[in-house]
Structure 1
Amino acid sequence: MRGHMESSRLTLGVISWCVFACAAETNTLRLGEDGLLHLNNGNFNKALSEYKQLLVHFSTPMSADLHKVSEAFEEAAAQLQGSDVTFARVDAVKEQDLAQDLNATHPPFIRLYLSGDKHSPVPCPIPTTSSSIATWLKRRTGSPADLITDDIQSDELLVVGFFKALDEAYAQVFYEAAVELPDLTFALTQKHDAISKYGLGDDVVLVLKKSRLMQAYRMRPETNKEELIVFITVFQMDPVTEYTGQTVSQILTSPVRNHALLFVRKSSPDFSVIYAAFDRAAAAFRLKVLFVLVNVDEPRNGRLLEYFRVRDFEAPLIRIVNLTDHVTYHLPSQTLDEETIIKFCQDYLDGNAKPKMQSEPVPEGWDTKPVKQLVGSTLENVAFHPNNTAFVLFYLPYSPESRAVFPLWEELAEAFEDQENVVIARIDASANDINMSMHRQYPSFCLFPALYAERVVVYTGKLRVKDLVKFVHKEMEKAKKDRVMEDEDRRKYRDALREDEARKEEL
């Protein structure tokens, strides 16, 4: 008996030690093999208190673009080792509660925490290289004087500010824009000889490419950082930008959200004529519509053609898409001349173009799995079924934030697998046009109550199964009460119809 008790004490001691050791491991701050601090719910606050400048990368499921960001972050950490900035990483999938608490489930995924301030981080622009991160860190603590130079000759793109005085507001706005655009080279000059050949006066910003003036912007008292960033971002690109692996990030992050895409074979005999018309039309819509060339001959563009449901033999054709609501418009003409393209773009901007409604084919067995896979043609029938509660995930397949929710949605479906009147579903919002009024932020979580009225309730709470289940039950209880009122209104309506018909028969 005594031996048994001692054995039990020993077992409890071992368990206690393991629990303590695991907790200690969770709270420990140490560098991983990638040279970064790996943070979690247990040690994040400790890192904030120990490091005055903590640059954190919230990693998510990897797309090719996000993989480049991750590589750039690790390279910057190695290059700036020993500096005042400590580089750290949080696995936003494993540490969902922490990411939710820090509101870090969406871009920007790199944030700088200063002096232990947990809730007001400084967002880092999406970097293309490690130099972008280093430049951003340097510029944000610098001043306009750091950009002064007399040499504005460059083989690459150069943004030049020419101001009367460096201490005036114009120079400060220029520098604030430079901080937000670390991939670009900025310069300040007060030498009139340097810009005299461009025939411009004081207080202007020039976008130069290989010393050739692309565009000039005259500063005004009301000019702010955001307006200048839009100007620079747009005019650093040619009127028409070809979609490639090198330009995709530039295209998708452009502040111009209306994109006109020309799908064409560069090998076709009429390519030069079509391109010239597209290029001339683009000049009329700078800052309003971004013109993009998609070469159908390029195999790597296959996914883009699939996204827009363009078959290679249909080229050439033009589509306009708004990257905010993802609604697509199709040029209803076989003639792709300058006049036709300009009219199509202007009709779109004036709200006169009709959207191209599309739906994926209904997948085989779409309603046999725990999570139902909806398409455009089945959405409304499922969502607005008066006897079912439908909770639908609207997602973008190329979005890491959307893909991160898929496992959670499967868990939610399992939680309701015994309730036939609850449907857990999802729909690809990029491949299916949604013919209903709803906000256009993805992923979106929309619950459709079991009512005759077409009601939508958007979920904005924490992404945890227990919270989602609680939300569904709450809305179901609310819908039951509303359904009683609906049934009563419908009964009164039917009775009124019967009385009306009876009066007509008497007459």
Structure 2
Amino acid sequence: LRVETLRQAEDKPSPEDGDVLQLKKGNFNRALRKNKQLLVHFYVPLSGEGHRISAAFEGAAAELQGSEVKLAVVDVAKEKDLAKELNVTGLATIRLYLAGDKHNPVTCPAPHTSASILAWLKRRAGSAADLIADLSQSESSEELTVVGFFKELDHEYVQVFYDAAVDLPDVNFAVTQNNEVITKYGLTHDVVLLLKQSKLIQAYKMTPQTSKEMLIVFITVYQMDPVTEYTGQTATQILSSPVLNHALLFVNKSSAAFKEIHSAFNGAAESYRLKILFVWVDVDEPRNGRMMEYFRVRSFEAPLIRLVNLTDHVTYHLPSDTLDVHTIKAFCQSYLEGEAKPKMQSQPIPEGWDQRPVKELVGMTLEKVGFNPDKTVFVLFYLPYSAASRALFPLWEELAEALKGREDVVVARIDASANDINMSVQGGYPSLCLFPALYAERVRNTPVLLFCLMESDEDRRKYIEAAKAEEAKKANQSKDEL
């Protein structure tokens, strides 16, 4: 009786908003036990993507009334303990819990509409036979349709095709064995066709090496135009693309040269469809301000082209004012072959930067000062808008004063948000890096110094007092020698 009472206290009735359960730590387990299939959206309030998915959930829930699938949401901003327990880290995570299994959920792709949710649930529970459709309607559709033409429906190619369809619920898929279709496009069996309004966009020949991931890359790349404008509507599609190399054209859409430049950019894009994603950004659009700020592009600098990899975020700049097809393709090729040099952004060198106790470094002076083999250089990498960074400024000044008598020691700082750093800086900002003298390692984070300066104010004070004492000791030794 006591166990049952405790269980009832823990599992309070699930409050509902329409047909979607509002789950918390106290009623999550009860919802798992009660529903054979529980599709849960873990969301962050005020998130644009979270709001869109929530709307899709509402629509899908209405369609799923009476089924064994129940939809629910969890506000991770309020339910931090539950999110931590379930290891939820993404801003918009969607999971399907089956038969009360709390530890082995199925991840659902972020849907665009309620129809996407319904398609995903149907496909993952069905088979390739469910994708056989009337192609006369699909071919005339303005939406992209992925058509698999297979000689045998029990071939392993069909399963790979179907697995890709499950992971792409926003895309129309169809399977056919109609020879007239393949004859119409002049192709053979075991091929995947991308069709839009009866026009063949691209074809992909299946091979024994073709994986689900390879097919998904092909479909998602050719689902987009060769060049995509960056907007609020396309941002998610661009950032979620499996192609991680992005070519960005910053250009003024209203300029006289726009059509010519865009045409050249589009011409180059055709040659690198599966290797580089081509995106253009209108610098005259106020809503693109954050994008320009991130890449530190000012509107008067346009047109210009940058290449960036979304894994390491290292940026490359097209070193030419000529933006024709040949120049753009040559730049892309040098990037892919590893011959392009990263774009190093740098603030102007401040006047009198080396006359103050704390030397104010910029991108152009960091390597020269930091890698001086005759000096030990201690650098604070900071963000000007970070409270944690600003809190270190007084202590950094005090440290520089304590060590100003040491000609072989330099205390410096650099704004990491305004200067590209061509080195590995471990952890976030603020970060402290020691550049040892005597041709030591290129960059070495010193655990003892990091502990003394980062753990607490008391430890930081102790380090500074020790530095002062050392300077006083050396001064007394010099007096004795004299």
Which range, TM-score by smaller chain?
Answer: 0.7 to 0.9
What is the aligned partner in structure 2 of residue 220 from structure 1? Answer: 207
Pick from 264, 276, 287 the counterpart of residue 251 of structure 2.
Answer: 264
Identity %: 59
| Candidates 136, 145, 162, aligned match of 2:129 | 145
Tell me how far 1:90 sits from its aligned partner: 1.7
2:16 counterpart SS class: coil
1:501 aligned partner: none
Corresponding residue number in structure 2 for 1:287: 274
1:129 is aligned to 2:107: no
How much has 1:299 moved relative to structure 2?
Answer: 3.1
Cα separation, 1, equivalents of 2:415 and 2:27: 37
Query: Structure 1: how far apart are the matches of 2:77 and 2:415?
Result: 21
- Coordinate RMSD, CA, aligned: 4.3
Of the structure 1 ranges 301-310 and 330-339, higher mean CA displacement relative to structure 2 is found in: 301-310
- Match for 2:158 among 166, 171, 178? 171
Mapped contact 1:446–1:456 kept (Cα < 8 A)? no
Alpha-carbon distance between aligned partners in 2 of 1:133 and 1:310, rounded to the nearest angstrom: 39
* Partners of 1:428 and 1:113 in 2: CA distance: 46
Shift of 1:150: 3.8
Question: What does 1:92-241 correspond to in 2, within 5 Å?
Answer: 92-106=76-90, 109-151=93-135, 152-153=138-139, 154-241=141-228
Letter in 2 for 1:90: V
Asked if structure 1 preserves the Cα contact closer than 8 Å seen for 2:42 and 2:91, the reply is: no
* Distance in 2, Cα, partners of 1:361 & 1:52: 62
Pairwise CA distance, 1:203: 0.1
| CA positional deviation for 1:187 | 0.6
- The CA deviation at 1:256 is 0.4
Partner of 1:16: none
What amino acid does structure 2 have at the position aligned with 1:310?
V
Which secondary structure does the structure 1 equivalent of 2:73 belong to?
Answer: strand
Corresponding position of 1:505: none
The number of equivalent residue pairs is 413
The alignment partner of 1:344 has SS state of helix
CA change 1:80–1:146 in 2 (3 A) is same
Aligned pairs for 1:414-453 within 5 A:
433-437=420-424
Q: Report the Cα offset of residue 297 of structure 1.
A: 3.3
- Alignment partners' CA distance in 2, 1:168 and 1:294: 44
Q: TM-score, normalised by structure 1?
A: 0.70
Alpha-carbon spacing, 1:332–1:53, altered in 2? closer, same or farther (3 Å): same
Structure number with the bigger relative contact order (C-alpha 8 A, sep ≥ 6) is 1
- For 1:233 and 1:187, the matched residues in 2 are separated by 16
Q: Is the 8 A contact 2:160 2:211 kept in 1?
A: yes
CA contact (8 A) 1:447 1:457 kept: no
CA deviation after TM superposition for structure 1 residue 91, in Å: 1.7
With over 3 angstroms needed to count, the CA separation of the structure-2 counterparts of 1:143 and 1:336, relative to structure 1, is: same
- Shift in Å, 1:165: 1.2
> Which string of whole-angstrom CA distances, capped at 9 and with x for unpartnered residues, describes residues 441-469 of structure 1?
xxx658968977755599xxxxxxxxxx9
Question: Is the CA contact 2:382–2:415 (under 8 Å) kept in the aligned structure 1?
Answer: no
* Structure 2 partner of 1:489: none
Q: Which residue of 2 aligns with 1:322?
A: 309
Stretches of structure 2 that go unaligned for 5 or more consecutive residues are 350-360, 370-375, 400-413, 437-442, 467-473, 475-482
> Residues 345-380 of structure 1, C-alpha deviation per residue, up to 9 Å, x if partnerless?
111112222222336899xxxxxxxxxxx9989999
Structure 2 CA distance, aligned partners of 1:117 and 1:33?
A: 24
**Alignment of 1:69 onto 2:53:** yes
The residue correspondences of 1:316-355 to structure 2 (distance < 5 A) are 316-355=303-342
Aligned residue type for 2:123: R
Distance 1:139 1:313 in 2: 50
Q: Deviations over 1:307-340 (max 9, x none)?
A: 2222222221111111112222111111001111
Cα gap change, 1:350/1:175 in structure 2, threshold over 3 Å: closer, same or farther? same
Cα deviations by residue, 1:49-85 (Å, 9 ceiling, x for unpaired): 2222111111124332332122222332233233211
Distance in structure 2 (CA, Å) of the matches to 1:59 and 1:376: 39
Distance 1:46 1:390, change over 3 A: farther
Deviations 1:95-141 (A, max 9, x none): 22221221211266111111222222111111111111111111110
- In structure 2, the CA distance between the partners of 1:346 and 1:116, relative to structure 1 (3 Å rule), is same
Structure 1: segments with no counterpart, 5+ residues: 1-20, 363-373, 398-405, 459-468, 485-493, 495-507
Counterpart CA distance in 2 for 1:231 and 1:167 is 23
Contact 1:449 1:455 in 2 (8 A): no
Residues 434 and 446, structure 2, Cα contact 8 Å, conserved in 1:
no
In structure 2, the partner of 1:306 is 293
